[in-house]
Chain A
Amino acid sequence: MPFNLLVLSCLLYVAFLFAVAFVVERRAARGRLGWLRSPLVYTLSLSIYCTAWTFYGAVGYAARSGLEFLTIYFGPTLVFIGWWWLLRKLVRIGRQYHVTSIADLISSRYGKSNLLGVIVTLIAVIAATPYIALQLQSVVLSFGVFASAAPDGSRPLDPGQTAVWVAVGLAFFTILFGTRNLDAREQHHGIVTAIAVEAVVKLVALLAVGSFVVWGIAGGVADVIARIDAADLSAWQVEPGRWTGLIFLSAAAVITLPRMFQVMVVENEDEGHLARASWAFPLYLMAMSLFIVPIAVVGLERMPAGSNPDMFVLTLPLAEGQGALAMLVFLGGFSSATSMVIVESIALATMISNHVMIPLWLRLRPGAAAADDLRSVVLMARRLAIAVVLALGYGYYHVSGGSAALAAIGLIAFLGVAQVLPAMLGGIFWRGATRTGAFLGLVTGLVVWAYTSFLPSFGPGAALSQAIFADGLFGLSWLRPQALFGTQAMDPITHALFWSLALNVLAFCLGSLFTFPGPVERLQGAAFVNVFEGAVGPQRWARGQVDPEALLGMAQRILGEETALSFFQAAARAQGKEGFLPDPTPTFLDQLETRLSGSVGAATAHAMISQLVGRATVTVEDLMAVASESAQLLEYSAQLEAREAELTRTAGALREANEKLTQLSLQKDAFLSQISHELRTPMTSIRAFSEILTEGDLPPESVVRYGKIIHDEAKRLTRLLDDLLDLSVLENGSVQLNLGLASLQGMLDTALTAARQTRPDREFLVIRDLPSEAIYLKTDADRLTQVFINLISNARKYCDAARPELRIVVRQRAGRVTVDFIDNGKGIPKDSQTLIFEKFARLTDANRAGGAGLGLAICREIMTNLGGAVAYLPGQKGAAFRVTLPLRLERQAA
């Protein structure tokens, strides 16, 4: 097949994936994911376990080592069918504590220690780099197969150049869809779905070529069985140690590989999906390996001696003249490589940015948590990290020259990430595991792995000298990298597996047994180990003196304005408060920390809140106090407790009702005397001047002037009466709404024009985004415009900036529209923010330009009648008001 056609279909395929990811992101943004959140997509996304190494390499593996390739699938199968043991707990912890990566899990469990996060990140990056290189190599090799098979003599491709293009393309795709938003819990729907599509492509490709081999080349199942028995492979033998070790290794890898953790825990939408995946994922693995042996056997028979068995899936159909099938296989392999690289680089980038870049950045700029826009910094860090990871992968490929040594790297990488296993399992099953233990275990494992497996993989004389191989480090023969302590009986991978994990576990256990954990660490340990038993005892934050507005500011810089505001609003509502600022209770601080850790990791989130709250965390004494307290409490019967709670509740409700009544009565008195004042003021002027005019004997210009004053004051009186009437109608809910479709843009135009009458002398800059205003609302246009006029007039009246500006921001989400009016003035002090919506609650103003202070009260009532709300929006630079209303107001809601 023409080589250009191959490149073209490759590009078309990538464009298709882009489209899938794009469409899904769009749907996710509108909250309409539907079946895209199904267990099926979850299961398929897990298939990134099967990389190009298994897609192409499994056949080669089978051709070289018989059934051993199955061990790579057996491990994950056992882990998944045993999900009730481990995966369920892992996923629950991940969801409950907003874990962003495996490094975050370890760091968070061991007292939010960033050092551990850095070590895990380091291990992951070292192990993943050759693995990514392997994927690039496989794509290059498969291109090469087509290029050499091209009979039309088209120019064979430069492998280095292909690798560059693939790496750049992948970086682009990953950055585009992988760094849309920060939060781990709402991210990457696009990528996950694209991965699921790729999973289908690679499965179909492998099944197609397998079916072709069994029923197209060989004569059916019976014939294949006969051929297997006749093949050379029968000579191959396996050692029990290696067989068992490899099953264990792949089982460990499937839980510790960063990319698996990403799709399995971080991207998990629903714990129920895991139940389905517990059998569906092993089924996928089985289907993937079903035809491996037949393809290997037939390939060895049919292909010329010396051809690369790793490429049999591709070369076999090509040799048989099945161009379309080969094309499909090529896309399958391409899918395996790309999906692995995309998810791996996202996972690694999260780790690198959260555990290395951001902490460093915060260290270099201590005030940064409160000052800068962290969100964009984190996103930039993540983009940079993705580029770095792919550059490392490409660099490794380039340096190693795509040698055959790469093929062995898969298991070595597995072993590298498996070093995290003891700290991870210990962390979620053993409360006694400590930070020091984890640190010692990880470092020991890393060193032993590097010495016995990773460095020797470059070959004798490369990373480790020939002498070390032969005589051991420092000439000590018991330190030979592939025969530690004289153990020569094992093959290198089993040897490295045995020693690295044995020493790792030993260091981990001894370290944990002989050290004493700090309070945060003990809390986290209890929280993780007892994750199914509900929330654990004491809060991690004492009640501190912290300004909730500062917290909101920080949260906005990490979560983004909208998310932070709605999070704070929900918390405030849960505390029974209106507006956007909850009290900084310990519970709230905990929730906020968990939420933030979903974006920047537990260690950073903890550090940032500490910066604002101070080191008001718990001590060992607090822990003990809580423990003894709960022991005492246990003695009370549950009944007594329930009754007490009920009493407290009733008392609370009564007190609340009483307070409300008192308040109402006070409010009524205040309201009446306010009205009296507001009515008497214009009447005083009218009466005085009318008496003066009746006396006559005035110069004509004074007559005109006084007449005008009387007229103005009469108008003011009328307006006041109108407002009062309006308010009472609105409050009674007996208002007649005139519902119809109206353009938001039109309403804002009208309002801006009308509001220009207020202080017409002021130059006022209005910033709008017209496209976002192109919304048709079903509402009462006159009433809504009235609200807009009021808010804009207020800004014109009260904004005290030298160059006043008003920003109008329109957003639409899930059937609701928000319109924000934000000026650049001083804003409204916090204690007045809820007051301003009360009747006659005019703030002390030097320039009250008429109006009786009923404006915002009326606005509030109108918005309630329109099924929406108007609220003060804190945390902006100036005074800001948010109007929220439904896109389509239904009549019964009115």
Chain B
Amino acid sequence: MRRPKPPLFLARAPYRRRRLRDAARLLPVVGIFLLLLPLLWTQDSRMALRSGDVIYFFLVWVGLIGVAAAFAAGLRGGDGTDDEED
């Protein structure tokens, strides 16, 4: 079944939903960046175990989970429609 050609511009709500998907796709990239960042902190490009590192990692972790939860709530609604974006 062919679908009609997707419209070029969208109303506000679908537009927001698409940007939300973009954000959801971006999230793991941000995650990788934040999890690799501490490698650059220490001398010799080596990382030692300090309480600060531990706290940093867990904060990043909680942050990623929180943002993912916020996204998931928004994405689940539009999930059933199958309209692939881009």
Asked if chains A and B are in direct contact (CB within 8 A), the reply is yes
On A, residues with C-beta under 8 Å from B are 66-67, 70, 74, 77-85, 88, 225-226, 228-229, 231, 233-240, 243-244, 247, 271-272, 275-276, 278-280, 282-283, 286, 290, 293, 532-535, 630, 633-634, 638
Cα–Cα distance between A280 and B53 once the two chains are bound (Å): 24
B22-61 vs A, CB cutoff 8 Å, 1 = contact: the mask equals 0011011101100110010000111111110111011001
- Complex Cα distance A237/B64, Å? 25
> Are A239 and B46 in contact (CB-based, < 8 A)?
yes
Is the beta-carbon distance between B21 and A84 smaller than 8 angstroms? yes
Nearest B residue to A239 via CB reads B46
Residue from B32, B54, B58 within 8 A of A228 (CB atoms): B54
Q: Pick 16 A–B contacts, CB within 8 A, sort by A.
A: A78-B31, A81-B31, A82-B24, A82-B28, A226-B51, A237-B46, A237-B48, A238-B47, A272-B79, A275-B72, A275-B75, A276-B76, A279-B72, A282-B65, A282-B68, A286-B65
Cβ-based interface call for B7 (8 A) = no
Tell me the minimal C-beta distance from B58 to chain A in angstroms.
7
User: What B residues does A633 contact at CB under 8 A?
Assistant: 2
- Assess the A286–B58 pair: CB atoms within 8 A: yes
Query: In the complex where A236-B49, A237-B48, A634-B2 touch, is A243 in contact with B54 (Cβ < 8 A)?
Result: no
Q: Are the CB atoms of B32 and A78 closer together than 8 Å?
A: yes
Q: Which residues of A contact B24 (CB under 8 A)?
A: 82-84
How far in angstroms is the closest Cβ of chain B from A468?
A: 32
**A84, A85, A235, A293: which has the most chain B beta carbons within 10 Å?**
A84
- Chain B interface, DSSP helix/strand/loop, else mixed: helix
Query: Once the chains are docked, how many angstroms separate the CA of A278 from the CA of B68?
Result: 7
CB nearest to B75 among chain A residues: A275
**8 nearest A-B pairs in the assembled complex, by CB-CB distance:** A82-B28, A66-B49, A279-B68, A279-B69, A81-B68, A237-B46, A275-B76, A225-B51
B49–A234 contact, CB under 8 A? yes
CA distance A80 to B27 in the complex (A): 10
B13: chain A residues at CB < 8 Å are: none
A81–B47 touching, CB < 8 Å: no
CB-CB < 8 A to B47: which residues of A?
A: 67, 237-238, 243
- Of A81, A84, A233, A239, the residue contacting B49 (CB under 8 A) is A233
Residues of B with C-beta under 8 A to A534: 1, 3, 82
Quick one: closest A residue to B70, CB to CB?
A279
Give bound CA distance, A276 to B45, whole Å: 37
A293, B68: Cβ atoms under 8 Å? no
A70 to B53, CA, bound (A): 12
Bound-state Cα–Cα, A239 to B36, Å: 11
CB closest chain-B residue, reference A92: B82
Contact-residue bracket for chain B? 35 or more
Cα-based distance from A243 to B46 in the complex (angstroms): 10
Q: Which residues of chain B are near A233, meaning CB under 8 Å?
A: 49
If A82-B24, A533-B84 are given as contacts, then 16 extra A-B residue pairs at C-beta distance below 8 Å, sorted by A number, are: A66-B49, A70-B57, A78-B31, A82-B31, A226-B51, A234-B49, A237-B48, A238-B46, A243-B47, A271-B79, A275-B76, A278-B68, A279-B66, A286-B58, A293-B49, A534-B82
Q: Is the CB of B79 within 8 A of A532?
A: no
Nearest residue (CB) in B for A272 is B76
Point out the residue from B45, B53, B61, B75 that lies within 8 Å of A77, measured CB to CB.
B61
Q: List, in ascending order, chain A residues with CB within 8 A of B75's CB.
A: 84, 275
- Indicate if the CB atoms of A244 and B28 lie closer than 8 Å: no
Q: How far is the CA of A78 from the CA of B68 in the complex (A)?
A: 10
Q: Is the CB of A286 within 8 A of B62?
A: yes
Contacts of A532 in B (CB 8 A): 82, 84
Q: Which residues on B sit within 8 Å (CB–CB) of A234?
A: 48-50
Q: Are A240 and B45 in contact (CB under 8 A)?
A: yes
A83 cross-chain contacts in B, Cβ below 8 A: 24
A286 touches which of B1, B54, B61, B80 (Cβ 8 Å): B61
Q: B32 near A229 (CB under 8 angstroms)? A: no
Question: A366 to chain B: closest CB distance in Å?
Answer: 39
Given contacts A67-B49, A82-B28, A84-B21, contact A278 B72 (CB under 8 A): yes
Separation in Å of the A327 CB from the closest CB of chain B? Answer: 29
| Residue of A whose beta carbon sits closest to that of B27 | A81
CA distance A84 to B72 in the complex (A): 9
Given contacts A243-B36, A275-B75, A534-B1, contact A282 B61 (CB under 8 A): yes
Contact A276 B49 (CB under 8 A): no
Q: Is the CB of B2 within 8 A of A275?
A: no
Residue contact B48 to A282, C-beta cutoff 8 Å: no
Q: Are B46 and A229 in contact (CB under 8 A)?
A: no
Least CB distance, A118 to chain B, in whole angstroms: 33
B35 touches A247 (CB 8 A): yes
Q: Indicate if the CB atoms of B35 and A82 lie closer than 8 Å.
A: no
- Least CB separation from A86: chain B residue: B28
Nearest chain-B residue to A638 (Cβ)?
B4
Contact A236 B50 (CB under 8 A): no
- Cβ contact within 8 Å between A81 and B65: yes
Q: Which chain A residues lie closer than 8 Å to B27 at the CB level?
A: 81-82
B58, A290: Cβ atoms closer than 8 Å: yes
Residue from A78, A226, A634 in contact with B28 in the complex, judged by beta carbons closer than 8 Å: A78
Residues of B within 8 A of A276 (CB): 72, 76
Among A66, A74, A80, A239, the residue within 8 A (CB) of B48 is: A66
Q: What's the minimum C-beta distance from A83 to chain B, rounded to whole angstroms?
A: 8
The answer to whether A81 and B36 have CB atoms under 8 Å apart is: no
CB contacts (< 8 Å) of A240 on chain B: these are 36, 39, 45
Distance in angstroms from A726 CB to nearest chain B CB is 49
Chain A positions within 8 Å of B64 at CB level: 77, 81, 282
A90–B61 CA distance with the chains assembled, in angstroms: 24
Q: A237-B47, A275-B72, A535-B1 are in contact. Are A82 and B53 (CB under 8 A)?
A: no
Contacts of A67 in B (CB 8 A): 47, 49, 53-54, 57
Shortest CB distance B47–A (Å): 5
A229, B50: Cβ atoms under 8 Å?
Answer: yes
Q: How far does the Cβ of A661 sit from chain B's closest Cβ, in whole Å? A: 33
Query: In chain B, what residue has the closest Cβ to A238?
Result: B47
Between B32, B54, B66, the greatest number of chain A beta carbons within 10 A of the residue's beta carbon is seen for B54
- Looking across the interface, which residue of chain A has its beta carbon closest to that of B46? A237
- State how many angstroms separate the Cβ of A562 from the closest Cβ of chain B: 30
Bound together, the chains give a CA A666 to CA B27 distance in angstroms of 70
